[in-house]
Structure 1
Amino acid sequence: MTALARTRTPLIVAGIVVAAVVAAIAWVSTGHAGPMKISDLRVTGAYVPQPASPDVAAAYFTVTNSGNVPAVLTGVHTDVSDMSMMHENTGTTMTMLHSVTVPAHGTVAFSPGRYHIMIESPARALKQGDHVTLMLSFAKLGQITVTAPVMPVGYRPPAPNP
Structure 2
Amino acid sequence: MSDPVHLVCHYCHGINRVPRERLIDGPKCGKCGQPLLNGAPAQLDEKSFDRHIRRNDLPVLVDFWSPTCGPCMMMAPAFDQAAHRLEPAMRLAKVNVQSNPGLAMRHEVRGVPTVILFKGGAEAGRNVGAMDLEGIVSWARQYL
> Is the TM-score greater than 0.5?
no
More strand per residue? 1
The normalised TM-score by structure 2 is: 0.26
More helix per residue? 2
The normalised TM-score by structure 1 is: 0.24
